[in-house]
Structure 1
Amino acid sequence: MDNSKRKKFRTGLTSILSAILGATIGFLLMFLLDRVLERSPQDVYYPLLGLLFFFASFFVQIILHEAGHLVFGGLSGYRFVSFRIFRLMLVRESGKLRVRRYHIPGTGGQALMMPPEGGKPVPFVLYNLGGVLMNFIVAMLCLLLLLVCGFTSFLPVVVLSTMAASGIFIALTNGIPMEIGGVPNDGKNILVLKKDEYSRHVFWLMLQVNGLQSRGMRLRDMPEAWFSLPQRPRYGSYMHMYAALLRAGWHMDRQELEQATESLELIRPFAPNLATLYRFEWQCEMLFCELMGPRRSEEVEALYTKELQKYIGKCERYQLGKKRLLYAYALLMEKDIAKAERLWGEAQRLAERSPNTGEAKSELDLMLWVKEIASY
């Protein structure tokens, strides 16, 4: 079995196991409701109401999951940067908390923090495991209340049982190492970080860069030594791959196109087998370098697939990097000045409310660079 077939098999197996787990928990929930609740003429509605509460409890448990990362990250010495649930983000700007909108396809939320001061090694287990622990603790407390208090009325039973069921489901699907929606979960992150010292450096670097950018610092102003690539690279590993992406971004912010392209080319042999999210991010940056450089039509077409266009469409309302890519494509490939001007205006408005001010400055400068290239 080749790598692409193996990847599809793992993805399909993960989906099947998640469905079986969800169905099992749902069945146990219905069984519990049937056995615990007193029978009444209205009990025909109980399964439907139970299902509605079950979906509502997922939303609550997602919030608790991300809060768990904050709590246990704080206990490990991390400092708050941002807290996102779906498309709403709470971010610290100039010492104040502000609400912003941001989205990463395949993720329900994200809690980002600055790593502890004092260098490395950086603690990573509690921070990554915090969400799972929070879901599990809340689920066990709900089960304990349900069993000890002996509730028989509908509302307390359905609230406690659905919170327990959804908490167990989210804890297991985040704690058992796997990829969900093309994104490695918390359990897989811990497994990768335990095995590889360089991956732990990249983990620190990702959080450090995000934290500094949220304060207004640009990639180009950060030490080059942070972005050194491993002596024995494994770009098939998403952590090693992300290091090359960050290195490329550092060069790009300095408008060093050749060096940025070289960093991205290191990933190319491994790109087809990367987690979906990371493969798309590589394609976006590789496509931008191609547009800014040789602009070979066959290479642009190979990178700018329908699948990637769909991904960009989901992200462009929230991510300046995608506006920058669309702007480059409009000016350098389509020669559509009106479309490019519209995208420039959208990018400026997006930059004003960006949760990452350092990145916003870089992206707008890159778009000006695109305009310079187009005018040659």
Structure 2
Amino acid sequence: MGEKREKKDSGEKKIRKYFNFISKLLVSTAVGFLFGLFVVLLMERFSLFKKMQEINFTFLSALIYIMLALFININIHELGHLVFGKLAGYKLISYRFSIFTWNNENGKMKLSLQFNQAYSGLCAMIPQKKGTAKIADLLFYAGGIIFEMLFSIIFLIAFLYTEGFWAALFFFTAIIGFVTGIINLIPFQSANIPSDGKIIWSFLFNRSVADELIELSDLGSQLVAGVPPAELKVSLAATTEELDSNDLSFVYLAYLKALDEDDQDTYQEAARILEENIALYPSYSLPGIYYEICFTACISGDEEKAREYYQKVRKTLEKDRDINGFRVKAYYEYYINKDREKVLACAQSGLAVKDKYPLKGQAILEEKLIKKLLAKLEVE
């Protein structure tokens, strides 16, 4: 009888899920249609179609304009998140503009080049205090779309007063900005990452996704403020068949909490879940996950796995000058390479930069783990 009720509840949840998705899709489509109609009427009113016909371009030049327009809009989108995030008091962790990436390292934004990310953007920010206003969170996630729409109008106006190359570029950038802005407003999930639209609609209708994001933001802001992982109110919940990016973020926080509490069974289980779902992570998140899988493999004595994941992230680790990178290197040198001198060097370097780590609460854990390793060296 219980199984039938569970199946019925599961079926009802799926129906509600699909109904919510379809209703949001219809609303987003309606908004997009009305906005598109506005653009068409605007173009008709100012004879923009006629002006566009006066510009001579080939298929190849049109393709180049489209590629440039996409590139410009991607970065305008991320700039929107950055601006609204700063206005909301968020802390910048990472920002990517084409091949240029700035990461918060030792309290400063450090520039690096990532040639495999040449056509993408990223703006990773977290609140600096617990319980930011809901409207501030909403504007941060909507910031990309707001900027795309705003700049598209600006580009369309600029198109009216320019000729030749610039007129064509402004036109394509405006149109693609409108299109990508509307697409971003649609609630969907790609590579296990929810679209801005899915998050925005969740905030507006108090759906579970928004609640999870608010909880994750609060937990992240506690780490920034200096609350150690052991004091976070998070646990390793029972795994489900379909984990999403939010679920994995909770698993990672539960992993840090278990490390801080020296709960080996829990952090090993969390590491297993992270590894099993490694394909769900976007590329920019993988190094941090590789760090922890390598770390737990070192502790558990799985040398083969430790070497495998160390090689996956070796180049990143060699450049990492944060305390968490030094902690992983120190444990690898101790358990795998058995190099006492390198263990001491990595441990001392890590402790020296502890106060500069942006997540103050995690820095306390990193210091604790390094000192634990140094204590092992002293008794040998």
Report if TM-score (shorter chain) is over 0.5. yes
TM, length-normalised to structure 1:
0.63
Q: How does 1:325-344 map to 2 (within 5 A)?
A: 325-344=328-347
Q: Check whether the contact 1:331–1:371 (CA below 8 A) recurs between aligned residues.
A: no
Q: How does 1:26-175 map to 2 (within 5 A)?
A: 35-36=53-54, 57=72, 61-67=76-82, 69-70=84-85, 78-82=88-92, 84-86=94-96, 87-88=101-102, 99-101=108-110, 108-114=121-127, 126-146=139-159, 149-152=160-163, 155=166, 157=167, 160-161=170-171, 163-164=173-174, 167-168=177-178, 171=181
Matched, 1:261 2:268: yes
What corresponds to 2:306 in structure 1? 300
Q: Check whether the contact 2:235–2:254 (CA below 8 A) recurs between aligned residues.
A: yes
Residue 314 of structure 1 and its aligned partner are, at CA, apart by 6.8
What corresponds to 2:16 in structure 1? none
Residue 313 of structure 1 and its aligned partner are, at CA, apart by 1.6
Q: Check whether the contact 2:199–2:210 (CA below 8 A) recurs between aligned residues.
A: no
Question: 1:53-95: CA deviations, max 9, x gaps?
Answer: 7588458515533235427xx6xxx54333643343689x9xx
CA distance in 1, matches of 2:51, 2:164: 10
What corresponds to 1:13 in structure 2? none
Residue 246 of structure 1 and its aligned partner are, at CA, apart by 0.5
Distance 1:197 1:171, change over 3 A: closer
What corresponds to 1:287 in structure 2? 294
Secondary structure of the corresponding residue to residue 369 of structure 1: helix
Q: Check whether the contact 1:235–1:267 (CA below 8 A) recurs between aligned residues.
A: no
Residue 227 of structure 1 and its aligned partner are, at CA, apart by 0.2
CA distance in 2, matches of 1:169, 1:342: 53
CA distance in 1, matches of 2:65, 2:317: 32
User: Which structure 2 segments of 5+ residues have no match?
Assistant: 1-48
Q: Check whether the contact 2:236–2:251 (CA below 8 A) recurs between aligned residues.
A: yes
Matched, 1:347 2:360: no
Question: 1:323-366: CA deviations, max 9, x gaps?
Answer: 32122111210012333344335434554543333333322322
CA distance in 1, matches of 2:210, 2:204: 8
CA distance in 2, matches of 1:190, 1:258: 37
Residue 248 of structure 1 and its aligned partner are, at CA, apart by 1.0
What corresponds to 2:11 in structure 1? none
TM, length-normalised to structure 2:
0.63
Matched pairs, number? 320
Q: Check whether the contact 1:135–1:168 (CA below 8 A) recurs between aligned residues.
A: yes
Greater radius of gyration (CA): 2
Matched, 1:214 2:224: yes
User: Which structure 1 segments of 5+ residues have no match?
Assistant: 1-30, 40-45
Residue 138 of structure 1 and its aligned partner are, at CA, apart by 1.3
Question: 1:253-308: CA deviations, max 9, x gaps?
Answer: 2333333223333445x42542244565444323312212x31234434x5264x3
Q: Check whether the contact 1:83–1:112 (CA below 8 A) recurs between aligned residues.
A: yes
Matched, 1:309 2:322: no
Name the amino acid aligned to 1:151.
T
